[in-house]
Structure 1
Amino acid sequence: MYCTLEDLTKQLPVETILSLTSTEDDEIDTEVTDKAILDAGAEIDGYAAKQYKVPFKNVPAVIRKFAVDIALYNLFSRRGFSEDTQDEVIILRYKAAIKFLENLAKGIVQIGAAEVGESATTNMSQLTAATIKNEARIFTRTKMRGY
């Protein structure tokens, strides 16, 4: 997981997260928040895998930030969005996260200290060296004289 419930509560009041997870015993439903966080991580991995080894062992700060934004978006989307300013901010932050991740996948932006890895389609460590074998040349500069 690239972020925690604690990271979410640093962005929004506990009461807001409680209302988004809606349990009867006035406690945050950690099953719901964990799913939102895991889904955010999977979405991030989908983009980051083009340039980096995923999942990240040491989570870069920017990835943690966008994991929080995406997880909060996932929680808000459970109840649907309204015209509320807070909802608009959550949507804008989600769109910014996706834009960043698209640029990350294209190699336009980098996340710094993370390990650059192979793409999801090619594992460079499994490739073997190529051997090129040429036959003797039929035509050379000296063989072409006189023609």
Structure 2
Amino acid sequence: MSYTDLAKLTARFGADLLLQLADRDGSGVVDDGVVDGAIADTDAAIDGYLAGRYKLPLANTPPLLADLAAAIAIYKLHTYEPDAKIAEDYKDAMRQLREIAAGTIRLPAEGVEPEGTGASGVRVTDRERPFTEQNLKGFI
């Protein structure tokens, strides 16, 4: 399941920017293969962060993930240095993915359950005391 697609990227960033970034052969048409490759890389990165906490694939794409995917995909489409806004959005998206993986940010997705880590709480065991008042009777 993809978290974003060409239509969403076009709606968010505009057809002109996508044409500049994804027209690698100079034909004046967006190369779908280039965009699909960036989206696939983006999906793999997001799944890598989510896999430790959520069962994949997700039933629905939460709006936060769609936003993060768009920021990451447009960054990955850049062959050269992106402008400051796109680079900052990418860094922010990666920071939010780390927070999702750590559990600081919880996704509001239906049917998504965090995987348990096993036992919870503290378990303390103690051995029987070898020297008690009864054992030392006569020595004290």
TM-score scaled by length of structure 2: 0.77
- Match of 1:95, SS state, is helix
User: Does 2:115 align with 1:118?
Assistant: yes
Partner of 1:61: 63
Q: Report the alpha carbon displacement of residue 113 of structure 1 after superposing the two structures with TM.
A: 2.0
In structure 2, distance between residues paired with 1:144 and 1:113: 61
- Match of 1:56, SS state, is coil
Structure 1: tracts of 5 or more residues without a match? 125-136
User: Does 2:103 align with 1:107?
Assistant: yes
Q: Report the alpha carbon displacement of residue 16 of structure 1 after superposing the two structures with TM.
A: 1.3
Q: Report the alpha carbon displacement of residue 61 of structure 1 after superposing the two structures with TM.
A: 0.7
User: Which letter does structure 1 place at the counterpart of 2:21?
Assistant: L
Root-mean-square deviation (Å)? 2.6
In structure 2, distance between residues paired with 1:42 and 1:51: 15
Structure 2: tracts of 5 or more residues without a match? 119-127
1:49 to 44, 48, 51: 51
In structure 1, distance between residues paired with 2:114 and 2:103: 12
In structure 1, distance between residues paired with 2:75 and 2:81: 10
Partner of 2:81: 81
- Give the number of aligned pairs: 127
In structure 1, distance between residues paired with 2:13 and 2:65: 18
Contact 2:61 2:109 in 1 (8 A): no
In structure 2, distance between residues paired with 1:112 and 1:145: 62
Work out the percentage of aligned pairs sharing the same amino acid: 32
In structure 1, distance between residues paired with 2:31 and 2:96: 29
Q: Deviations over 1:66-103 (max 9, x none)?
A: 00110000002x2x115xxxx11110110110110111
In structure 2, distance between residues paired with 1:144 and 1:29: 85
Contact 2:75 2:86 in 1 (8 A): yes
Q: Deviations over 1:100-143 (max 9, x none)?
A: 01111111111112502437xx7x7xxxxxxxxxxxx8x8x8x8
Q: Report the alpha carbon displacement of residue 144 of structure 1 after superposing the two structures with TM.
A: 4.8
In structure 2, distance between residues paired with 1:54 and 1:29: 29
